[in-house]
Structure 1
Amino acid sequence: MTLTDKTGAPVTVTKESDRFTVGVDGKTAGHTAYVERDGRRVFFHTEVSDGFEGRGLATLLIGAALAATRDEDVRIVPVCSMVAAYVDKHPEFAAIADEATPEIRESLPD
């Protein structure tokens, strides 16, 4: 699937060991960070760098990250407010989403 932002620029989403990154024109424009806990992927922080806001990159990033996670048969825990809002607006991810327990929240990096 080819992704493009609101300006029509090609976008790449890449999975790394602790995050998915979004790139535009060969530059990393943002990321959504996660940790693996009890067989679930806990998304706890998403950000887009200054100069890339307003292009829909966070939405593209989160959508691709959640789809990749679902394709791996891994459940998600949307702690990040942007990820939680995305799940609320896209019911196809509700079936793989779990609530964050206090133990999960306490175990997250600062």
Structure 2
Amino acid sequence: MTDTSPTPAVERVDDRHRYEIRVGGRRAGLTAYRDHGGQRVFFHTEIDGAYAGRGLASRLIRAALDDARASGLRIVPMCPFVAAFLSKHDDYEAVTDPVTPQVLEWLDTELRRTPGRS
């Protein structure tokens, strides 16, 4: 039997501060970020339950991290999904920064003042 399901596609949506993964034109999930200096702080990832178990979270996170790295940004994994992914993929170690109290405080302030949080 041939798999005829649409190929998932990841796109960066700058005005919403997130990457989205789409399947057949429908958003199946997202990973949200904010940029802080030379860092891309990933703080939330979700996959719609209808798309669970297809490996979409890993595909989404890999594409987002690859894009951040290609853009010359360092990765800060506040999101548990992103942190778990990074713990299994040490090829991002050279561009990953730890979550610090300063970044936590900055993100809290950033999200409170930003309308339409992701």
TM-score (norm 1): 0.88
Rg larger in structure: 2
- Residues 28 and 96 of structure 1: CA distance in aligned 2, closer, same or farther (over 3 Å): same
Structure with greater proportional strand content:
1
**Structure 2 unaligned runs (5+)?**
113-118
Whether 2:48 is the aligned partner of 1:71: answer no
Helix, strand or coil at the partner of 1:55: coil
For the residues of structure 2 that align with 1:103 and 1:41, how far apart are their CA atoms? Answer: 14
Identify the residue that residue 99 of structure 2 maps to in structure 1: 100
Matches within 5 A, 1:22-101: 22-101=21-100
Matched residues, number = 105
Helix, strand or coil at the partner of 1:31: strand
Structure with greater proportional helix content:
2
Q: CA contact under 8 A between 1:21 and 1:61: conserved in structure 2? A: yes
Q: CA deviation at 1:79?
A: 0.6
For the residues of structure 2 that align with 1:7 and 1:47, how far apart are their CA atoms? Answer: 24
Identity of aligned residues (%): 43
Q: CA contact under 8 A between 1:41 and 1:75: conserved in structure 2? A: yes
- Residues 7 and 67 of structure 1: CA distance in aligned 2, closer, same or farther (over 3 Å): farther
Q: CA deviation at 1:7?
A: 8.2
For the residues of structure 2 that align with 1:7 and 1:36, how far apart are their CA atoms? Answer: 37
Helix, strand or coil at the partner of 2:53: coil
CA RMSD of aligned residues (A): 1.7
Q: CA contact under 8 A between 2:20 and 2:28: conserved in structure 1? A: yes
**Structure 1 unaligned runs (5+)?**
1-5
Q: CA contact under 8 A between 2:38 and 2:72: conserved in structure 1? A: no
